[in-house]
Every structure is written in structure tokens, then in C-alpha cells.
Amino acid sequence: MGWFKRLKDGIQTATRNKKEAPEGLWYKCKRCKETSTMKELKENFFKCPQCNYHVRIGSEDYFGLIFDGVFEEMFMDLRSQDMLNFVDLKPYKKRLDDAYNKTGLTEAISVAKGKVNRRPLVIAAMDFSFIGGSMGSVVGQKIAMAIDHCRENRIPLLIISKTGGARMMESAFSLMQMAKTSAKLSQLAKHKIPYFSLLTDPTTGGVTASFAMLGDINFAEPEALIGFAGPRVIKETIKRDLPEDFQTSEFLLEHGFLDFIVDRKELRERISDLLSFFDV
Amino acid sequence: MVFLDFEKPLEKLYEQLEKLKQVGEEGIVDVSETVKELENKIKNTRKEIYSNLTGWQKVQLSRHPERPYTLYYIREMSRKFVELHGDRCFKDDKAIVGGLANLDGQTVMIIGHQKGVNTKMRQYRNFGMANPEGYRKALRLMKMAERFDIPVACLIDTPGAYPGIEAEERGQAEAIARNLLEMAQLKVPIVCVVIGEGASGGAIGIGLGDRVYMMENTWYSVISPESCSSILWHSWDYKEQAAEALKLTPDHMLEFGLIDDIIKEPLGGAHTAPEEMAKLLKRQIKKAISELQEMSVEDRIEARINKYAVMGVYGTAEEDSLMTEKENQ
Ligand SMILES: [Zn+2]
């Protein structure tokens, strides 16, 4: 399976424009509206230096934050196809082209292999900027291939979810990726390879209802939106207001669906600690 | 009888037939020949209408108020049936039912979404929209079946998993995800049949199996046409277009390799001859189970996972750039 190999020095030397994090000199916080410099924001793990709001970042940023500098991207050759000739207000093909151009990414998920404090780890990280981080055939296939790679080489897997759910433009193919990724994860569990699921803002729909909830350890960044149905749909269905902290990381922790919440500053060390407990 | 909008020509013919029969009952004129002619005409009109249904029309048929639901099929198919309730954690979900059934001597754990047959019951069944405890009840029954080497059949008919505050609190997503993981490794045969609506995660939450079938007038999709219209077209008015775009009919699903076969329905839909439909359903479930029982547990699980592993269509970067070149020429 000829996958692309590319070595580089992590975040500082990213060759493509692959960041979801804001560009430019200044950052104005979405929450507290305070302004800080981009340099301050980056040094603070892409969190607002004033209020600790975790800014949405992309797969490459996570690879840079978690891996020991060097990592190798995998399965970069896969591309989505418009097998249904899906047209709504915009043809799916056009949506894909726009996404390629806007994000510099090739899909809503990127997979990379590297080390965390010298322990090997495969990370599959989703990008919300690519068609809402939606899961179609390629996202499912990349996860399946990452699982196979982890199984064959006995390497733990971390999936970082950031998604609106399944990709409508691939209809039932997208739906079946829920079954596909879950079935593949069941094989990983059988081989006693740990799977860590990190849920970030936002994680909803068919992704939450498949691999995102199936970690041996499920954890989330603070204040992320996590749920099955979107808050708007629920509000329209029940016709009343939703509780204040509804569908936040803190809400999920309280109801027993997360093992812990981790500040992005401690993310790398926490993953390193987890890896140290599992003898793969 | 309830007629759908595209069945209007039939409604007129049935009205004529009724009138004609009344005349016949008066006994003054012999109408038997004309009745026969009219009945033939009804049959042909029905054939014509049904030979070319659109995606949206199939969606309408799948929701036909007289369409049989899970409990009807179970009772019609089985000599004995004991319904089993509750998830042993929180409560008994009324939108998913299940229990042990005897199909001509073969014990089967049958689980399915259940819709209500009248206004009151529709509320009681929450319109076939399950909460997490429904999926957990389903899993409890599957795990019990596994312990006693009893095959599982799942009947799918839901407009979606329920989107509510309590459903989220109790982990709707976790319940569906857990079922997918466990069903992938279940040691007994699993046969799934879409008998009505196959909407998204709520459907696939009991839908991973060795064999997946769809009845002829049903649909299976990542989202309902209405919601798809609302999100992608920013309006509720494009449900017909959405239904076409989603390619959600059994024919498409079979062509895509996402289901294993289509179960033909009596002409005019399952509701026009429910007993016959139940027979056809039973035949298909029994046939699948006996085929699957021939396999070893390991082979069956491996085949099941491999079946899902190949689902998906994608290309490579090279193919993509070749296509672009071609288009630009
Ligand atoms: Zn702030």
C-alpha cells in the first residue's frame, strides 16, 4: 500500500498552509474579546492568554504539539470521489475543490506516526475547516488503515475528533463508515492495542456515535461541544431552552462519558503518561 | 384505505368500484363483468405506478400509516414469542422491542424499532425514535443470545435516534457506538432488515450484521431527506430533490454494495398484503440464518468485518489530477 512518506520538523517548518489557527499578527479572542499577539497565542498552546479559551486548531498543529518534533504523515494519497454525483446548492466536486484550495488539506483527517517522549504513537487528527470535519469514505478508510498499521506494528492509536458528523454528500457510504471504523476498532481491542480518543470542539453526529466514543480512554479539551444531535435540532424538537452547560466536555464528564478533561498545555504530558501505562 | 398523493388515480378507481358494487347489491343489473374489468384496471394502474417509484415516493411508502411494524411481523412469523423488556440500567424503551421467537423450530432473538399504530400509540412508541436505553436493551438481548448460541435478527424502522436532553445526558452517541463495536464481534449470526425507515445513526445502531437486507419500499440514508433539505438547501422545500440526491432506495444501496439483497414487496406495498409480506420476510431470515450457521464463528466474524472494511469509494491524488487534466482539455 504505497503511502507517501514525508519527514519534517513539526510545526515550525510546516510546508503547507495547513493551520486552522488564525493567521496574522493579532488574535482577538472569540470569547473574552481581548486582543493578544499571535506569538503569545502560539506560546500559550493556542489558548487565549487572558481567558484560556481553547482556539480551534488543525491536525498539523496537534501533531506539532504532541509529537517529539519529527513525525511522518501517512496515507496522504487518498482523495474523495463524487460517486453519487451529488448536487445540492453546490456540486460536491466543487465543494471538495473549494476545500482543497481554502485549507491546503487533502481531507478532513490526517494521519501521522511519531513519538511522544520516545514512545511510538499514531495520531489521526480531524480538521474542521475541511467541509466541517465531516466523515466520508476517505476519513473512514484512513482510520481503517491507521488501525491496521497500529495492529501490524503494535503501536497505540490516538484519534483527535473535530467534526460536525457524517458527510451528507456521500450519503449511505458515510453512514457505513460508522460501522466500518467501529468494526476495525474491535479488531484493535482484540489485539490489546490501546486506543485513546480525544474529543475537541466540536464533536457531534455520526463520529461521536462511532469511533469518538469508543476509546479505551475518552478525554476532551475544556468546554468543547460534544454530542450526538446538534443543539439546534434538540431545541427545535423539544421546544424549550437547553441547560447552560449542555453538551460541553464538563457535562459529559459529569454524566460519565469521559475519563478526564485536559488543558491543551498538559496534553502532551498526559498522553505521554497514558502511553507509559500500556505495555504494547 | 389510505392513498398517497401519487396513488390518486387508484383512489378514483376504488371509488368507482365501490359504487359499482353497491349497484350490484341492489340486484337489478348484473355488474360482475364490469367489476372484473375495473379490478383489472386497478391492478394495471397499480403496476404502472409502482414500476417507477421515485426516491421520495419510496420514502412516503416506508411511512405509510398502514405499513406493518416489527411486532406485527414477529407475531405473524413466529409460533411462540416472548417479549423481553428493559436495559437493566435505566428503563424500558418503548421505541425498540425485542424478545425470543420461534420461527418454524428455529429460536431467534428478534429486535426491532417499533412505531405506534394509532395517535396514542405513536406517542407511546415515541414515533420509533429510540433513546439510549433502547440501544442498550438491544445490546443486552444480543449478548444474551450470544451466550445461548441463538441467532439475532434486527428489524430497522426509525426516523432517527431521539434528539433530546435526556438522550444526550444518558449518552445516545455512546449507546449507538457501543452497539456497533459489540455487533462487529458478536459470536452468533446477525441478520438485519430495513422494514421501513432507515435513518442514520438511529438505524445503524441495530444495523451491523452478516447480512443486511432492505424491503423494496424502504430507504436507508445518512440523513432524512427533510433534514438534508433543511441543511444543504436552507429550506424544508427540497425534500424530493434531497431524496433523489441521497440515492437512498434499495436499488441504489444494492448497486453500491452496501446491502446484500432486496426483499420484494407485494404489489402496492407491504401494507396491502401484510401476511404475505411476513412470509417473505420469514423466508429470507431463515435462509440467511441457515447459511450463516454453516460458517465457523471466527470465519463469520472475519467475513462480517471485512464486508464493512471494503465499504467506501475513494481515489488517489494521481487519478484526481488526471481527471482534472481531462476536464480541462
Ligand atoms: Zn479570551
Beta bridge partners of B211: B191
Lowest mean pLDDT segment, chosen from B51-55, B135-139, B182-186, B257-261: B51-55
Please list, residue by residue across A196-215, b when 16 or more beta carbons sit within 10 angstroms of its beta carbon and e when fewer do: bbbbbbbbbbbbbbbbbbbb
Which residue, among B171, B37, B16, B311, has the nearest Cα to A218 in the 3D structure?
B171
pTM of the model: 0.94
- Which pLDDT belongs to residue B323? 81
Is it the case that residue A9 has pLDDT exceeding 70? Answer: no
Lowest mean pLDDT segment, chosen from A161-175, A208-222, B1-15, B257-271: B1-15
Confidence of residue A23 (pLDDT cuts 50, 70, 90): confident
- Which pLDDT belongs to residue A10? 36
H/E stretch holding B103: strand B96-103
Distance A229 CA to ligand 1 centre (A): 27
Which residue, among A194, A193, A223, A198, has the nearest Cα to A208 in the 3D structure?
A198
- Which pLDDT belongs to residue B30? 87
Q: Is A150 annotated as a binding residue?
A: no
Handedness of CA A174, A175, A181, A183 (dihedral sign): negative
Give the cell for residue A244: 447552560
Residue B141 contacts residue B84 (beta carbons within 8 Å):
yes
Scan for cell 432473538, then name that residue: B109
Would you call A183 and B172 a contact, using CB atoms and an 8 Å cutoff? no
Scan for cell 407475531, then name that residue: B75
For B45-64, the pLDDT digits (tens) are 999 999 989 999 999 999 99
Handedness of CA B183, B185, B188, B191 (dihedral sign): positive
Rounded average pLDDT over A49-57: 96
The Cα B82–Cα B63 span in angstroms is 27
For B154-171, the pLDDT digits (tens) are 999 999 999 999 999 999
Rounded average pLDDT over B107-115: 98
Is it the case that residue B70 has pLDDT exceeding 50? Answer: yes
- Which pLDDT belongs to residue A7? 36
For B11-33, the pLDDT digits (tens) are 999 999 999 989 988 888 888 89
DSSP string computed for B200-260: HHHHHTT---SEEEEETT-EEESS-HHHHHHHHSSSGGGHHHHHHHTT-SHHHHHHTTSSS
Q: Which CATH architecture has domain A56-277?
A: Alpha-Beta Complex (3.90)
The Cα B11–Cα B8 span in angstroms is 5
Backbone angles phi, psi at B10, to 5 degrees: -70, -40
Would you call A227 and B168 a contact, using CB atoms and an 8 Å cutoff? yes
Rounded to an integer, what is the distance from CA B274 to the centroid of its chain?
14
**Which residue in A75, A213, A216, A251 has the most chain B C-beta atoms within 10 A of its own C-beta, making it the best mutation to test that interface?**
A213
Lowest mean pLDDT segment, chosen from A11-25, A54-68, A196-210, B225-239: A11-25
Give the cell for residue A208: 461521536
Which residue, among A161, A179, A208, A143, has the nearest Cα to B179 in the 3D structure?
A179
Confidence of residue B39 (pLDDT cuts 50, 70, 90): very high
- For residue A254, the chain B residue with the least C-alpha distance is B169
Is it the case that residue A6 has pLDDT exceeding 50? Answer: no
Residue A113 contacts residue A146 (beta carbons within 8 Å):
no
The Cα A254–Cα B231 span in angstroms is 31
Distance A247 CA to ligand 1 centre (A): 21
Share of chain B above pLDDT 90, in %: 91
- Which pLDDT belongs to residue A2? 31
Residue type, B142: M
H/E stretch holding A235: helix A231-238
Residue B193 CA: distances (Å) to CA of A117, B111, B288, B299:
49, 11, 11, 22
Confidence of residue A140 (pLDDT cuts 50, 70, 90): very high
Q: Is A32 annotated as a binding residue?
A: yes
Which residue, among B176, B216, B210, has the nearest Cα to B194 in the 3D structure?
B216
Confidence of residue A15 (pLDDT cuts 50, 70, 90): very low
Share of chain B above pLDDT 70, in %: 100
- Which pLDDT belongs to residue B328? 77
- Which pLDDT belongs to residue A19? 53
- Which pLDDT belongs to residue A20? 63
For A87-129, the pLDDT digits (tens) are 999 999 999 999 999 999 999 999 999 999 999 999 999 999 9
Residue B200 contacts residue B163 (beta carbons within 8 Å):
no
- Which pLDDT belongs to residue B87? 98
Peptide bond into A202 cis (omega under 30): yes
Would you call B180 and A242 a contact, using CB atoms and an 8 Å cutoff? no
The Cα A244–Cα B64 span in angstroms is 39
The Cα B9–Cα B28 span in angstroms is 29
- Which pLDDT belongs to residue A11? 37
Domain ranges of chain A: 56-277
Confidence of residue B327 (pLDDT cuts 50, 70, 90): confident
- Which pLDDT belongs to residue B178? 98
As a whole number of angstroms, the longest Cα–Cα distance in chain B is 80
Instruction: Name the 3-class secondary structure at A200.
Output: strand
Contact list in A for residue B242 (CB cut-off 8 A) is 88
CATH of domain B60-309: 3.90.226.10
Please list, residue by residue across B133-158, b when 16 or more beta carbons sit within 10 angstroms of its beta carbon and e when fewer do: bbbbbbbbbbeebbeeebbbbbbbbb
Rounded to an integer, what is the distance from CA A117 to the centroid of its chain?
21
For A56-82, the pLDDT digits (tens) are 999 999 999 999 999 999 999 999 999
Is it the case that residue A258 has pLDDT exceeding 80? Answer: yes
Rounded average pLDDT over B287-310: 98
State the ipTM, two decimals.
Answer: 0.96
Distance A263 CA to ligand 1 centre (A): 15
Domain ranges of chain B: 60-309
Give the mean pLDDT of chain B.
Answer: 96
Give the mean pLDDT of chain A.
Answer: 92
Residue A18 contacts residue A60 (beta carbons within 8 Å):
yes
Lowest mean pLDDT segment, chosen from B34-38, B68-72, B255-259: B34-38
